[in-house]
Amino acid sequence: MVHTLKEEDVKLDSRPKKFIVWLFVVSSTIMFGGWTSYYIVFAASKGKGHGLVLPDVFMYSTGVLVASSICLFLASRALRNQELSKQKVFLWLTMLLGLTFGYLQLDAWSSLYHSGAVLVNNNAAISIIYIVSGFHLLHIFCGLCLIAATLFGAYRNISLGRLQFRMEISSIFWHFIDILWIYLYVFLLLNS
Amino acid sequence: MSTITLHDTHNHDDHAHGHHKETFLTKYVFSQDHKMIAKQFLITGIIMAVIAMGLSILFRLQLAWPDKSFPILETFLGRWAEGGRIRPDFYLALVTIHGTIMVFFVLTAGLSGTFSNLLIPLQIGARDMASPFLNMLSYWFFFTACVIMMSSFFIQTGPASAGWTVYPPLSALPKAIDGSGLGMTLWLVSMICFVASSLMGGINYVSTVLNMRTKGMDLWKMPLTIWAFFLTAILGILSFPVLVAGVVLLIFDRSFGTSFYLSDIVIGTQVLPNEGGSPILWQHLFWFLGHPEVYIVIMPALGISSEVISINARKPIFGYHAMIYSLIGITVLSFIVWGHHMFVTGMNPLLGGVFMITTLIIAVPSAVKTFNYLATLWRGNIRFTPAMLFAIGLVSFFISGGLTGIFLGNASLDINLHDTYFVVAHFHLVMGSAAIFGMLAGVYHWYPKMFGRMMNAKLGYLHFWVTFICAYLVFFPLHFLGLDGVPRRYYAFTEFEFMQKWVTVNIFVTWSAIIAALAQVAFLFNFFYSIFKGKKAPQNPWEANTLEWTTPVEHLHGNWPGEIPTVYRWPYDYSKPGADADFIPQTVPFSQTMSSNMPHDFEGNTEAERIQNDWNLKQQSLEKSKQD
């Protein structure tokens, strides 16, 4: 009896906290919305966008990020089915793919840089590519920290309820930044 | 039943466990208790308000006596007031920092931070916030922001001086003026900390209100304070991130050489390499936050005065639903009016017309609120407590300042009035004075809840009357300066012939400001003295209905000993016909107030209506038999 009550408590306790993550997602979306609306107004008033062919690396990195999201989804499913070792494997994979994504983004920056599209530019539409992808990378870093915390919890054998909570938080956040990147990438592709 | 008890003991154990480890540091400094965090916000807010008020007195001295020397200023300010006269660049820094502190640190963090933190858990019946840790972090980010902002007074080039709206290119070029150097960088860093704090707070408030209400507390039984804080927090979540987006671009322009806001600039003989940017884009991003921000400032004050006016008029608030819908209306409209700050930027007149219409529509919900306040007061059994006076003061300022908003909202009038003292008069009344009066009403009203003691009412009356009269004497004359075309932020009125005749008015305004500032000493003394020596407060000093007055006077982490009370009715059952007392707390079930229940109380519950009808019939027949 007491045990079930405790579990209920954890559930009750985690709901508002999960909601906090959702609200963070909203406010973060709006921040990126601020930049993309800057871009739209800028492009409309100057009659020009960034005018670049975006480096292919962005395409690969998008693929990698989607793959990482799939891995994270599989990790959550493994946890739901109580397959803890499988969960750890998928979490590691997500982490690895996330790091690869980070590397690829830097690689894309360097190819942008070498093509002459540098940050300090008289076309603000080019500078803003660095801003949005840079701030997205910051989000990736935070997401990796969350996944690391989940992995850490999995190895420390924390209670199932708490592990599930961490897993859910990381999932909400990671899928969000995945979708966010797809939005930014498509936005930049369409508004060249 | 047993499960509930069990559940509760468990909860309670948790808190008792927390108490074991409580040290000075965890209780007073890094506290995670929402009541302590509220006090931290309030006291920090008061300190910042005093500082910002001091700054305003300094620049008022300059405005009134532009040619006079005050040697004492040099003693205190040194280089900033060489020869006893405030330097022009320091004057600009003074108005900038005064505005920034008042808008963001006092009326956003000091107001929302204090009362959302104090009242949300107490009035909806929760043990604490959704995330107490985030709540604590929110305060410390705010504190850091304050420290960084104040530190800019101690650097060689002085604080930011480009006005609280920090328009580029002035703010974007470190070489443009002294204040755009390190001071501006500190301003931006401070603002990032502040936005982080606001977001953490706001996200917490929304999550708490939506997820942690006690049993029976549905959204339409929440006090109007909670509705106001809730919608304010939503506004913050939706608008502050845009400020961050804008600030980040400004930081890149300043420090990395990008051209988001810069184009075609020559400093002296040097042509800057930046090209292609547009300073207007900053204004769009800034005012997309900036306009909701003024509602972030005023809505909590409106919520507080709704509550205070209803309690002290001993009447239900007039038009509870209309009050909420008008708050929602203001919230929604506030996002589509930002362009009215930009009528003179060369905006397409058609677009200006759209912004004008949306702006003027805001008058509708604002008027609904105003008339509801007046209708609540009408034939009320009014108790003129200091809190009540300040709440009525808010209504007064909201009307007199709001009316000029209709002038300014018209694009064709705004072209004349833009950037004149008319604007200064308008917003100092409608969002400055009104919001600070709402905040003071809150302080006087909930002081017993915060500190367990009462504030001195006599000093409160003195504080109110002097502040109220002086606020009008300060801000009302400024309308006439504005109508005459006197621009704001000018350093010396003696430099322009058409402005010279206004110097005498400035002297009058400055004296009024000085007297108003002195009146705040009565408040400060009252506030800090009463913390230690005030009269001990009873549990429900104002005979109010809301849940916070069911908690013990002595604070405990978790708010209620034992079970959290259940809510049965809306919070405004004052002077209900047939009731024994003139107030019925939210925790009293209808079964205990059979003599005063109304058919609409049961919200269509036919069974309850039938029971009530039976009871009424029985009462009638009893009375009949008595008469016979």
- Partner A contacted by B581 (CB < 8 A): no
The closest CB to that of B131, out of A2, A17, A135, belongs to: A17
Q: pLDDT at position B136, please?
A: 95
Place of tokens 């292919």: A56
Q: How many residues does chain B have?
A: 628
Q: Which residues of A touch B249 (CB under 8 A)?
A: 35, 38, 128, 131
Contact check, Cβ <8 Å, A5/B245:
no
Can you point out the beta strands (E) in A72-182? none
Q: pLDDT at position B17, please?
A: 41
Q: Which residues of B touch A9 (CB under 8 A)?
A: 7, 10-11
Helix (H) or strand (E) holding B267: strand B266-267
Phi, psi angles (nearest 5°) of residue B381: -95, 70
Tens-digit pLDDT profile for residues B452-497: 999 999 999 999 999 999 999 999 999 999 999 999 999 999 889 9
Place of tokens 């693929």: A63
Tens-digit pLDDT profile for residues A156-180: 988 888 899 999 999 999 999 999 9
**Bridge partners, residue B270, by sequence:** B267
The closest CB to that of B210, out of A19, A42, A127, belongs to: A19
Q: How confident is the model at residue B21 (pLDDT cuts 50, 70, 90)?
A: low
Q: Which residues of A touch B208 (CB under 8 A)?
A: 16
Q: Is B270 helix (H, G, I), strand (E, B) or coil?
A: strand
Q: pLDDT at position B3, please?
A: 35
Chain A residue closest in CA terms to B284: A38
Q: How far separated are the first and last CA of chain A, in Å rounded?
A: 62
Distance from the Cα of B130 to chain A's closest Cα (Å) equals 5
Tens-digit pLDDT profile for residues B492-515: 998 899 999 999 999 999 999 999
Q: How confident is the model at residue A12 (pLDDT cuts 50, 70, 90)?
A: low
- Partner A contacted by B346 (CB < 8 A): no
Measured CA distances, B337 to B85, B234, B341 (Å)? 40, 17, 8
Q: Which residues of A touch B245 (CB under 8 A)?
A: 31-35, 38
Q: Which residues of A touch B248 (CB under 8 A)?
A: 131, 135
Burial B289-321 (b: 16+ CB within 10 A, else e): bbbbbbbbbbbbbbbbbbbbbbbbbebbbbbbe
The closest CB to that of B242, out of A16, A31, A131, belongs to: A31
Which positions in chain A have a beta carbon within 8 angstroms of at least one beta carbon in chain B? 1-2, 5-6, 8-9, 15-17, 19-20, 23-24, 26-28, 30-35, 37-38, 41-42, 45-46, 119-124, 127-128, 131, 135
Taking residues A39-63, report their average pLDDT: 90
Contact check, Cβ <8 Å, A122/B274:
yes
CB A16 within 8 A of CB A165: no
- Partner A contacted by B203 (CB < 8 A): yes
* Averaged confidence pLDDT in chain B: 92
Distance from the Cα of B11 to chain A's closest Cα (Å) equals 9
Contact check, Cβ <8 Å, B248/A135:
yes
Q: Which residues of B touch A43 (CB under 8 A)?
A: none
Interface test with B, best of A3, A14, A27, A132 (most B CBs within 10 A): A27
Taking residues B57-80, report their average pLDDT: 92
**Residue numbers of B between 238 and 257 with CB closer than 8 Å to A:** 238-242, 244-246, 248-249, 252, 256-257
Chain B residue closest in CA terms to A36: B245
Chain B residue closest in CA terms to A7: B7
Q: Which residues of A touch B240 (CB under 8 A)?
A: 27
Q: How confident is the model at residue B15 (pLDDT cuts 50, 70, 90)?
A: very low
Distance from the Cα of A143 to chain B's closest Cα (Å) equals 18
Between CA A50 and CA A129 the distance in angstroms is: 8
Between CA A128 and CA A48 the distance in angstroms is: 14
The closest CB to that of B241, out of A17, A27, A128, belongs to: A27
Cis omega before residue B552 (within 30°)?
Answer: no
ipTM value for the complex? 0.91
Burial B158-191 (b: 16+ CB within 10 A, else e): bbbbbbbbbbbbbbbbbebbbbbbbbbbbbbbbb
Tens-digit pLDDT profile for residues B433-443: 999 999 999 99
For residues B159, B160, B161 and B164, what is the CA-based torsion angle, rounded to 10 degrees?
Answer: -130
Contact check, Cβ <8 Å, B212/A23:
no
* B549: amino acid identity, one letter: W
Tens-digit pLDDT profile for residues B395-411: 999 999 999 999 999 99
Taking residues A33-52, report their average pLDDT: 90
Chain A residue closest in CA terms to B256: A120
The fraction of chain B above a pLDDT of 90, given in percent, is 84
* DSSP calls for B335-392: GG-GGGG-TTS---HHHHHHHHHHHHHTHHHHHHHHHHHHHHHTT------HHHHHHH
